[in-house]
Amino acid sequence: MTAVWEVYLQETLINEDELQAKIKELGAQISEDYRDKDLLLICILKGGVLFLTDLMRQISIPHEIDFLAVSSYGKEIRDSTGVVRILKDLDEPIDGRHILIVEDIIDTGHTLDYITRNLIARKPASLKICTLLDKAERREVEIPIDYTGFVIPNKFVFGFGLDLDEKFRELPFIGVVNPGMVVD
């Protein structure tokens, strides 16, 4: 029996083993870089959740987490609207903390530019960015990325936290969407 998501998959871009190996590498580097620091991971919802969960398991130093939900996409919209809204703010103040934003994908940079400006205004000790996927060729706003999992081509991707019209986030790999396919 064919899984529902298979009809939307053009190709597997990054398989589960590749993802987990890169996340282990990122976790080791973050652990070294933040040794003896008060580290707070801020996950950008919803797409960053799977990445955050696996990354936390690979970070060997004490750390805390918080969540920020923003929107610059509408349902069934494949391109950012350019208008960023905070849907869920942080639970605690971040002044004086070492902040690492954990993001699933960065493409145009508009959303993350807004987020970083917003968080810098809250006076953290430091602010860095960790992204699983960097779609660099779509960048419209320069974003300083400190930790990058994979640089990917300008293709619409789903799986491992990234959705296709709010579905298929649970897949353990990153897949490329078949052009023209729409989820019912």
Q: What is the pTM of this model?
A: 0.89
Helix (H, G, I), strand (E, B) or coil at 164: strand
What is the CATH classification number for the domain harbouring 119? Answer: 3.40.50.2020
What pLDDT is recorded for position 79? 52
| Strands 174-177 and 157-158, bridge-based pairing | antiparallel
Asked if the structure places residue 183 within a domain, the reply is: no
Whether 23 has a pLDDT exceeding 60, the answer reads: yes
Distance from C-alpha of 23 to C-alpha of 108, rounded to nearest angstrom: 23
| Contact by Cβ (8 Å): 104, 131 | yes
Report, as residue numbers or ranges, the catalytic residues: 107
What pLDDT is recorded for position 75? 47
Q: What are the tens digits of pLDDT across the range 101-154?
A: 999 999 999 999 999 999 999 999 999 999 999 999 999 999 999 999 999 999
Q: Which residue has the tokens 């350019």?
A: 82
| Contact by Cβ (8 Å): 61, 28 | no
Q: What are the tens digits of pLDDT across the range 6-18?
A: 888 999 999 999 9
Distance from C-alpha of 182 to C-alpha of 77, rounded to nearest angstrom: 11
Domain that holds residue 79: 4-177
State how many domains the chain has: 1
Q: What are the tens digits of pLDDT across the range 51-71?
A: 999 999 999 999 999 999 988
Average pLDDT, the chain: 91
Asked if the structure places residue 136 within a domain, the reply is: yes
What pLDDT is recorded for position 5? 87
Asked if the structure places residue 182 within a domain, the reply is: no
Asked if the structure places residue 165 within a domain, the reply is: yes
Whether 28 has a pLDDT exceeding 90, the answer reads: yes
What pLDDT is recorded for position 17? 98
What pLDDT is recorded for position 81? 52
Asked if the structure places residue 184 within a domain, the reply is: no
Q: Which residue has the tokens 């282990």?
A: 24
Among 176, 150, 162, which Cα is nearest to 47's? Answer: 162
Asked if the structure places residue 66 within a domain, the reply is: yes
Average pLDDT rounded to a whole number, residues 82-108: 91
